[in-house]
Amino acid sequence: MNQAVAVGLMMIFIGLLRIHVGGAPTIIVGGSAAIGFFCWRATNLRRAIDPLKTTIVFLLTTAALHVHMYEEHDCLFGPAMSRLFEIAFPDARFLQIFVFILPAIYYLTAIGLLLRIPLAGFIAWFIFIGPGIAEFTHFIFPLIPPALEPHNPAAISAVVNGVRIVGMENHHVAVTGTYYFPGLYTAIIPMIPGIYAVYWLFKSRNTASA
């Protein structure tokens, strides 16, 4: 039952991302959710692993993620992604989804982990794999030529999929000479507790509490 609910939630979330954000982020986030699902099955689906410590590591990861998202917002991650992949991802949508809606789910997940609710373990795994480990993609983005005006070093504004996006910077290192993409400097911060959580949960899976 828990697995069916997790798969259903995953499909809904991926579908909403595909509609409201675009293909590339959906692949990254959806792939992270799928990997997290199988890691959850292999570790703490049937028995919780030290609920208090799991919750602490989860909250550390989400706190680090918030620090990282501040840089993303301040440097216009959404518009940069819009230019890179020709998707409609204005900064306002980034704030709505990743800064306001998802954190409410994180808080409920922390409560669920403490209460040993299995589904909370799935959401925690999604965070450990996605906003945790998958942040390494920030180091790849500067190497990719943007889909919109790749040779123009100036910021542009354009209508993408019916949404007007302003402040779309070109962060292609071959054009700017600077190896940077919004969020790159702080990407490592959520990766540290995320990678530790993966290591610890797999190491502890045979000592899960009943």
Residue-wise pLDDT tens digits, 123-178 = 999 999 988 889 999 999 999 999 999 999 999 999 998 999 999 999 999 999 99
Residue 24 pLDDT greater than 80, yes or no: no
Residue 49, classified by CB atoms within 10 Å of its CB into exposed (0-12), middle (13-18) or buried (19+), is: buried
Task: Write the pLDDT tens digit of every residue in 66-75.
Answer: 999 999 999 9
What spatial distance separates the first Cα and last Cα of the chain, rounded to whole Å?
A: 19
Check pLDDT > 90 for residue 22: no
| Residue 203 structural domain | 2-207
Place of tokens 């230019």: 83
Q: How far apart are CA 150 and CA 86, in angstroms?
A: 11
CA angle 165, 141, 12 (to 5 degrees): 65
Give how many domains the chain has, as a whole number. 1
CA angle, 56 as apex, 50 and 58 as ends, to 5°?
A: 100
Instruction: Look up residue 69 and give its amino acid.
Output: M
In sign, the C-alpha dihedral spanning 170, 175, 181, 182 is negative
Q: How far apart are CA 177 and CA 156, in angstroms?
A: 18
Residue 208: phi, psi to the nearest 5? Answer: -60, 145
Of 77, 74, 64, whose CA–CA distance to 192 is shortest?
A: 64
Residue 11: pLDDT over 90: no
Q: Burial letters for 128-151: b for 16+ Cβ neighbours within 10 Å, e otherwise? A: bbbbbbbbebbeebbebebebeee
What confidence score (pLDDT) does residue 209 get? 55
User: Model confidence at 83, in pLDDT bands (50, 70, 90)?
Assistant: very high
Confidence of residue 14 (pLDDT cuts 50, 70, 90): confident
Does pLDDT of 51 surpass 70? Answer: yes
The pLDDT of residue 131 is 81
Q: What is the pTM of this model?
A: 0.90
